[in-house]
């Protein structure tokens, strides 16, 4: 439960930061062009809000856990007080006379932005006057356009207002990457320094890889970093891989559908460095503590069978939950053997020494000026890699891997680590920017597409067309949201 809460807290904080900045991009350009912004909300607020604020006559007014402000329109009534209906039987609406409202009624000051925090943490919104958005508030569009409305602005200004959120999200990612490099630098394990080789997934083993192989080249080009090698093998769909195996160079030929096999296997990790099972800490009241294991013990065999890599040992423990085994290890150069009962979760109750203690990593430090171009390069590389991966979404195996909030949350570590948090936040910012610029109605990219059409042709799509396009886009987005989170539920209950 604690792990879930830590991951959930990181996810909510990360998305809150990104959504706020995204909407702030729209807001900033809207205010630059003197466009009225009715509301600015972090999180959605159906029925009520956790917090709302409005500045009126140089004074800020706050409300907590307050119901939403009533609509600016009310049913039209005839001289006898009866509600007037249209030909479809719906009540006709008329705008409220704000001068008749009480002084403390926020509706008397529609020119001021209402700021707030909703209770549903699934995003946020910036409601711009005179624009057809996800609120589907079309009543104001029935009146003549006002100078402060979005629809009355020149097409180029409306275009900048629409792309403002995407621009801010991408710039945010670049800034975060630059600050990460400046604060922590860049550290990785060169493949040639992973002396015990790599541990591969089942799909990789079936296609010719062996546990313990050291990667040398992909498509005849040398590789130095694991993430680079994985990208070339899976995303660029390499055809050949050169490895060092038992002191000899071996070339592997991969099938054309190798990436599809890996995606369809549901395995979380394609490869990882093989590391020794050396204990760094023994947790109290666990099988390891009961058996008398201690810091520095190095496991080399189980039940008399040679076994020394952390991956092989942890796999064996998972396959023998609740059983008692014979554990052989070295302590201060002396070999010892002890019986130990594995718990019901397949754990011993130990923390291992980090692999950085055994293998020489490469650490690159960046000064403030050097971190800026390096951060930009990292952001562009992440965006390029993400775009390339989208081709798998349109395959049978890839479609099954589309995930929702559960999948995104699982990316965060089970302990709070600021370097990992900001790295994932930067990556999510890139995803948010790219997904929003896709030419889908209801997304920024859909609005941008219609604006580009207007700029090129000189003809503005009708409000009715934009209203219908927005509705179609919302239906598509809700369908995708349901499908993605449905996949999360299937993966949760069907292993």
Domain CATH for 303: 2.30.42.10
495 and 425 in a common domain: yes
Can you say how many angstroms the Cα of residue 227 is from the centroid of all Cα atoms in its chain? 18
Report yes or no on whether pTM surpasses 0.75.
Answer: yes
pLDDT at 29: 95
Q: How many C-beta atoms lie closer than 10 Å to residue 296's C-beta?
A: 13
Tell me which of 335, 357, 379 is where a domain ends.
357
CB neighbour list of residue 404: distance below 8 Å, 6 or more residues apart? 481, 484, 485, 486, 487, 488
375 and 398 in a common domain: yes
3-state SS string over 324-335?
Answer: EEEEEEEECCEE
CB neighbour list of residue 415: distance below 8 Å, 6 or more residues apart? 6
pLDDT at 415: 83
Domain contains 245: yes
372 and 321 in a common domain: no
The edge-to-edge listing of strands for the beta sheet with 59-67 is: 59-67, 48-56, 114-117, 37-44, 120-128
385 and 418 in a common domain: yes
485 and 385 in a common domain: yes
218 and 199 in a common domain: yes
Domain contains 228: yes
CB neighbour list of residue 366: distance below 8 Å, 6 or more residues apart? 181, 182, 185, 186, 374
494 and 450 in a common domain: yes
Render pLDDT for 265-310 as a digit per residue (tens, 0 to 9): 878 789 999 999 999 999 998 999 999 999 999 999 999 999 989 9
Report the share of the chain in percent with pLDDT over 70: 91
Render pLDDT for 68-122 as a digit per residue (tens, 0 to 9): 776 666 677 777 778 877 777 777 777 777 777 777 777 788 888 999 999 988 7
E strand segments, 312-375: 324-331, 334-341, 350-352, 362-364
448 and 396 in a common domain: yes
Domain count, the chain: 3
- Checking if the pLDDT of 16 tops 70, the result is yes
As given in the structure block, the two tokens for residue 222 are 């040398």
pLDDT at 277: 93
pLDDT at 485: 65
Domain contains 94: no
pLDDT at 245: 94
Domain contains 61: no
pLDDT at 99: 75
351 and 376 in a common domain: no
pLDDT at 311: 92
Domain contains 9: no
Residue of 194, 211, 218 lying closest to 361 (CA atoms): 194
Question: Any idea what the Cα angle at residue 350 is, between residues 199 and 337, rounded to 5°?
Answer: 85
Rounded Cα distance between 326 and 331, Å, is 16
Pair type for strands 114-117 and 37-44: parallel
Domain contains 323: yes
287 and 255 in a common domain: no
pLDDT at 494: 60
Domain contains 48: no
Residue of 252, 251, 258 lying closest to 237 (CA atoms): 258
Average pLDDT over residues 447-467: 84
Domain span at residue 347? 279-357
Tell me which of 251, 273, 295 is where a domain ends.
273
Rounded Cα distance between 478 and 377, Å, is 34
At 244 the three-state DSSP class reads strand
Tell me which of 328, 357, 386 is where a domain ends.
357
Report the share of the chain in percent with pLDDT over 90: 50
494 and 377 in a common domain: yes
| Residue 256's CATH number | 2.30.42
pLDDT at 293: 92
439 and 423 in a common domain: yes
Domain contains 317: yes
């Amino acid at each position: 439960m604690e792990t879930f809460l830590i991951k959930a807290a990181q996810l909510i904080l990360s998305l809150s930061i990104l959504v706020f900045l995204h909407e702030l991009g729209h807001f900033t350009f809207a205010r630059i062009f003197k466009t009225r912004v009715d509301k600015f909300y972090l999180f959605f607020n159906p029925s009520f809000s956790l917090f709302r604020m409005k500045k009126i006559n140089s004074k800020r007014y706050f409300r907590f856990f307050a119901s939403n402000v009533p609509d600016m329109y009310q049913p039209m009534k005839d001289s006898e007080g009866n509600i007037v209906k249209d030909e479809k039987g719906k009540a006709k609406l008329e705008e409220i006379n704000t001068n008749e409202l009480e002084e403390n009624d926020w509706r008397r000051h529609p020119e001021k932005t209402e700021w707030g925090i909703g209770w549903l943490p699934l995003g946020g919104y910036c409601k711009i006057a005179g624009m057809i958005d996800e609120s589907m508030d079309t009543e104001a569009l029935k009146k003549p356009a006002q100078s402060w409305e979005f629809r009355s602005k020149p097409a180029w200004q409306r275009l900048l207002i629409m792309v403002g959120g995407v621009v801010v999200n991408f710039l945010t990612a670049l800034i975060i990457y630059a600050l990460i490099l400046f604060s922590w630098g860049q550290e990785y394990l060169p493949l040639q320094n992973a002396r015990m080789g790599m541990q591969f997934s089942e799909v990789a083993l079936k296609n010719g890889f062996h546990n313990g192989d050291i990667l040398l080249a992909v498509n005849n080009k040398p590789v130095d970093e694991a993430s680079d090698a994985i990208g070339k093998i899976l995303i660029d769909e390499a055809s050949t891989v050169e490895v060092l195996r038992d002191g000899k160079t071996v070339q592997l030929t991969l099938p054309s559908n190798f990436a599809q096999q890996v995606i369809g296997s549901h395995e979380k990790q394609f490869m990882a460095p093989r590391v020794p099972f050396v204990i760094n800490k023994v947790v109290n009241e666990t099988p390891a503590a009961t058996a008398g294991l201690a810091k520095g013990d190095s496991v080399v065999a189980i039940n008399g069978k040679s076994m020394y890599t952390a991956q092989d040992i942890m796999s064996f423990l998972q396959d023998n939950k609740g059983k008692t085994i014979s554990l052989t290890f070295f302590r201060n150069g002396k070999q010892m053997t002890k019986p130990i009962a594995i718990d019901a979760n397949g754990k011993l109750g130990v923390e291992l020494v980090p692999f950085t203690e055994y293998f020489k990593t490469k650490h690159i430090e960046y000064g403030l000026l050097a971190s800026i171009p390096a951060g930009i390069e990292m952001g562009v590389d992440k965006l390029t890699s993400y775009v390339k991966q989208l081709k798998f979404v349109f395959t049978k195996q890839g479609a099954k891997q589309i995930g929702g909030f559960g999948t995104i949350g699982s990316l965060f570590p089970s302990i709070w680590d600021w370097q990992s948090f900001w790295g994932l936040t930067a990556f999510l910012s890139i995803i948010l920017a790219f997904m929003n610029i896709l030419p889908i109605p209801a997304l920024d990219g859909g609005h941008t597409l219609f604006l580009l059409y207007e700029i090129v042709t000189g003809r503005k799509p009708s409000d009715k067309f934009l209203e219908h396009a927005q509705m179609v886009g919302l239906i598509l987005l809700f369908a995708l949201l349901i499908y993605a989170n449905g996949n999360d539920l299937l993966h949760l209950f069907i292993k």
